[in-house]
C-alpha cells in the first residue's frame, strides 16, 4: 500500500459520513438473529469449499449452516452429532440435525444477548455515575469561580479606594 493510498483510506475512514454509515451498519448487524461467521466469503464459495473437502459432489443445508453460522467450537459439537448418527447412536435426519443446530445457535444468541444487556446496564450505571460526578465537579468549579470573582471585586474596590486617597493627597 502506498502512502497516497494509506492517506486516502485514513481520510475516508475519518470522514463523518463514513463513521455514520459504519455506526448504522454495526447497529444493523447487531440485530441479526443468526449472524454468519464466514466474513466476506459468499455462500456459493462456501458450498464449493465444502464440496471440495467432502469429495461427495453435494453440500447439504446442515453442512452449509454449520460452516457459515457457527464458530469453530460449535462446529465440533455438530460434527459429533453427525458422527453419532453415522455410528447409529441416533437416528436424526439432516433436517432434524439442522433444527438442532438452529436451536443450539438460538440458545447461544440468547446467552450472548443476556450478557450484552448486562454489560449495557453496567455501562449505563457507569455513565450515570460519571454524569453525577461531572455535575458535582461543575458545581465545585462554579463555586470556586464565584469565590475568585468576589475576591477580585474586593481587591478592585480596595485599589480604587487607595487610588482615590492617593489622588486626594496629591491635590
> SS3 letters for the chain?
CCHHHHHHHHHHHHCHHHHHHHHHHHHHHHCCCCCCCCCCCCHHHHHHHHHHHHCCCCCCHHHHHHHHHCCHHHHHHHHHHHHHHHHCCCCCCHHHHHHHHHHHHHHHHHHHHHHHHHHHHHHHHHHHHHHHHHHHHHHHHHHHHHHHHHHHHHHHHHHHHHHHHHHHHHC
Domain boundaries, the chain: 44-170
The residue-averaged pLDDT of 100-129 equals 86
Q: Is the C-alpha dihedral spanning 117, 26, 75, 102 positive or negative?
A: positive
Q: What pLDDT is recorded for position 95? A: 77
The residue-averaged pLDDT of 46-68 equals 69
Q: What pLDDT is recorded for position 121? A: 93
pLDDT tens, residue by residue, 120-156? 999 999 999 999 999 999 999 999 999 999 999 999 9
Q: Output the pTM of the full model.
A: 0.37
pLDDT tens, residue by residue, 13-42? 889 998 898 888 888 877 766 666 566 667
In the predicted model, is pLDDT for residue 73 greater than 60? no
- Among residues of the chain, what percentage have pLDDT more than 70? 78
Average pLDDT, rounded, for the chain: 81
Q: What pLDDT is recorded for position 142? A: 95
Amino acid at each position: 500500500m502506498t502512502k497516497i493510498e494509506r492517506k486516502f483510506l485514513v481520510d475516508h475512514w475519518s470522514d463523518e459520513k463514513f463513521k455514520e454509515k459504519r455506526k448504522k451498519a454495526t447497529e444493523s448487524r447487531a440485530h441479526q438473529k443468526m449472524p454468519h461467521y464466514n466474513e466476506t466469503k459468499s455462500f456459493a464459495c462456501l458450498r464449493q469449499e465444502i464440496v471440495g473437502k467432502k469429495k461427495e459432489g453435494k453440500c447439504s443445508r446442515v453442512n452449509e449452516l454449520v460452516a457459515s453460522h457457527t464458530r469453530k467450537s460449535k462446529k465440533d459439537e455438530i460434527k459429533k452429532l453427525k458422527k453419532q448418527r453415522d455410528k447409529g447412536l441416533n437416528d436424526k435426519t439432516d433436517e432434524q440435525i439442522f433444527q438442532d443446530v438452529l436451536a443450539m445457535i438460538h440458545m447461544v444468541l440468547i446467552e450472548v444477548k443476556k450478557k450484552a444487556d448486562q454489560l449495557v446496564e453496567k455501562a449505563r450505571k457507569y455513565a450515570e455515575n460519571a454524569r453525577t460526578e461531572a455535575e458535582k465537579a461543575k458545581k465545585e468549579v462554579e463555586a470556586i469561580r464565584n469565590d475568585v470573582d468576589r475576591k477580585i471585586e474586593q481587591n478592585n474596590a480596595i485599589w480604587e479606594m487607595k487610588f482615590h486617597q492617593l489622588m486626594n493627597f496629591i491635590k
